[in-house]
Amino acid sequence: MSFLKILFVSPEAVPYAKTGGLADVAGALPKSLAKLGHTVKLVMPLYKHVDRDKFNLKQVASSLTARIADRDGKFNLYESGSDVGGLEVLFVENNGFFDRPELYRDPSTGRDWADNDERFGFFARAVLETCRYSNYIPDVIHCNDWQSGLIPAFLKVDSGYSDFSNASTVFSIHNIAYQGNFPSESFSKLGLDGSLFAPGGGFEYWEKVSYLKAGIWYADLINTVSETYAGEIQSSNEYGYGFEGVLKDRSADLFGILNGIDYNIWDPSVDNLIPANFKPEKLAGKKKCKNALRKRVKLPMVRRDIPIIGIISRLADQKGFDLIEEVAEDLMALDIQIVLLGTGDEKYHRLFSELHKKYPKKIAALLEFNNEMAHLIEAGSDMFLMPSRYEPCGLNQLYSLRYGTIPIVRKTGGLADTIENANPAKGTGNGFVFTGYDAREMLNAIKFACEVYRDKNVWEILMLRGMRQDFSWDASAKKYIELYKKAIAKKNR
């Protein structure tokens, strides 16, 4: 087998900076690729959030330049000095662009940073300059989401990159609803021939410049994070968010590879962020975690056998909170307790604060981003609710399986690919699944889960089945290597 030179480009990665699932993927997949023997470098921006001391960051180059908006933006290059599992992690430092309180959004206005076009246009060029500086022209550049969508485009349309003629590109879509669309004026900042910005071309999307479209249009191959989502985003506007046509045109080049999870971080038998460890052969620790969770979030112990339902999520429409809102009173009438951890839309902050005020014994609402709490909720809950409108892959249902916390999910995207409805009589399934985007269907699934929960033996069998499933990155990393090889073959055709 021949080994590849891979460059993995992501706007965020665990453990350095995270807003969502992409960071988990970028933190784990490159390590798994390196474990297979390939040479891997990961590049991301050096945000304010990255703890330079903790990760022992070392400056490896200074005063490199990347052009944006008719000026040469300067950047320094840093490398992680800590052991990162056989790969090199590089950071692009430009404090004007990246030393900010949030990654993509201005917290003082609640809106995206006004210069995101420049920030990530600059980042795309800086990544390519980083390759040049490091003398590293990869066989494949794996770009992720709109923030790196310009890289495949630059390589195809900018004649200044002839030294990358052997580099193929793969563009991964982690969520099609986040598109990086900017006013048409932004195009002139990219230093490309103006004629490239035209209807029916690779950059123009309803008179805007779309970095997502550029990635989809120009990458050698495209993929997304589950097979079902790959089909859904081509199928209708409801799932494709306007990109269904562009994706359908590239259907033959579009693949779905399920995300794995990092069991070094998310496994209750080794997790040091939870009060007691547990595993299929020794479940006692889970009860301790449940008690600790209840104490920590100040939910009273009404009865020992009331199930706790956990929710950890961005509070966004995508995640199905309007369904919860619709049947909130019915939910509160059930014999359950809910622990919610999340941040996002103001309207959902209000919804959950008010519910908590009205039903303090039934629901705890932690409106913050708190990784340690996320681990405790996974470990201490009995069930995990993800009623998503759409879900490219979803990670929390996979973490839940490993922690013996039974997922209740809507059948969409990666949730459909990973969770099978329980049939206690037949002894099949690993969770509870409802199909329609419908509050009553969700409520019925929760009621069914509560019914099954009452039979401790059946419930334990269900838990154990999920805990023993393997969603590690090993299988998916191999599929990525196959995908990279296809991209390389396509490039050389």
Min separation Cβ 342 and ligand ADP, Å: 5
Using DSSP, state whether 5 is helix, strand or coil.
Answer: strand
Report strand pairing: 204-205 vs 308-315.
unpaired
Interactions with ligand ADP, residue window 421-480 (CB under 6 A): none
294's CB contacts (< 8 A; 6+ apart) are 300, 301, 308, 337, 380
Query: Tokens 């401790």 map to which residue?
Result: 456
Q: Which of residues 6-25 bind ligand ADP (CB under 6 A)?
A: 20-21, 24
The minimum distance between CB 395 and ligand ADP, in angstroms, equals 4
Calpha distance 324→54 (Å, rounded): 39
Choose, by CB under 6 A, the member of 29, 151, 170, 395 that binds ligand ADP: 395
For ligand ADP, the closer CB: 20 or 280: 20
- R_g of the chain, CA atoms, integer Å: 23
Is 310 an interacting residue with respect to ligand ADP (CB under 6 A)? no
Residue closer to ligand ADP, measured from CB, 71 or 347: 347
234 binds ligand ADP (CB under 6 A): no
Residue closer to ligand ADP (CB basis): 366 or 462: 366
- Closest approach, Cβ 386 to ligand ADP, in A, equals 8
Instruction: For residue 245, give the amino acid letter.
Output: G
145: contact with ligand ADP by CB under 6 A? no
Nearer to ligand ADP, 92 or 315 (CB): 315
Exactly one of 312, 323, 416, 463 binds ligand ADP (CB under 6 A); that residue is 312
327-386 binders of ligand ADP (CB under 6 A): 341-343, 369-371, 374
For the bound state, the minimum distance from the C-beta of residue 63 to ligand ADP, rounded and expressed in Å, comes to 35
Query: What span, in angstroms and rounded, lies between the C-alpha atoms of 190 and 145?
Result: 18
SS3 150: helix
Q: CA 231, CA 215: separation in Å to the nearest integer?
A: 18
**3-state SS, residue 210:** strand
Name residues contacting ligand ADP, limited to 106-135 (CB under 6 A). Answer: none
Among candidate residues 433, 427, 429, 421, the one with its CA nearest the CA of residue 457? 427
Q: Which strand (E) or helix (H) includes residue 477?
A: helix 473-492
Instruction: Work out how close the CB of 232 gets to ligand ADP at its nearest, in angstroms, rounded to a whole number.
Output: 15
Q: What's the min distance (Å) between Cβ of 343 and ligand ADP?
A: 5
Q: Candidates 139-147, 267-275, 394-402, 463-471: pick the segment binding ligand ADP (CB under 6 A).
A: 394-402
Q: Which stretch binds ligand ADP (CB under 6 A): 121-129, 241-249, 392-400, 432-440?
A: 392-400
Contact 411, 391 (CB under 8 A): no
- Which residues 255-284 are close enough to bind ligand ADP by CB under 6 A? none
Residue 175 or 186: the one with the smaller Cβ distance to ligand ADP is: 175
> According to the binding rule CB under 6 A, does residue 313 interact with ligand ADP?
yes
Q: Using the rule CB under 6 A, which residue among 5, 35, 279, 314 binds ligand ADP?
A: 314
| Residue selected from 396, 400, 418, 430 as contacting ligand ADP according to rule CB under 6 A | 396
Closest CA to 280 of 444, 56, 460, 45: 460
Using CB under 6 A, pick the residue from 27, 30, 149, 394 that binds ligand ADP.
394
Nearest to 265 by CA among 15, 16, 13, 12: 15
User: Smaller CB distance to ligand ADP: residue 17 or 312?
Assistant: 312
Residues 6 or more apart from 4 whose CB is under 8 A from it?
38, 39, 138, 139, 140, 481, 484, 485, 488
Length of the chain: 493
Beta carbon of residue 91, minimum distance to ligand ADP (angstroms, whole number): 21
Task: Quote the CA–CA distance of 197 and 191 in Å, as a whole number.
Answer: 12
Which amino acid makes up residue 482?
E
Contacts made by residues 111-116, CB under 8 angstroms, sequence distance 24+:
116/180, 116/182
Q: Which is nearer to ligand ADP, 270 or 301 (CB)?
A: 270
Quote the CA–CA distance of 462 and 432 in Å, as a whole number.
11
Q: Which residues would be at the binding site for ligand ADP (CB under 6 A)?
A: 20-21, 24, 175, 312-314, 341-343, 369-371, 374, 393-396
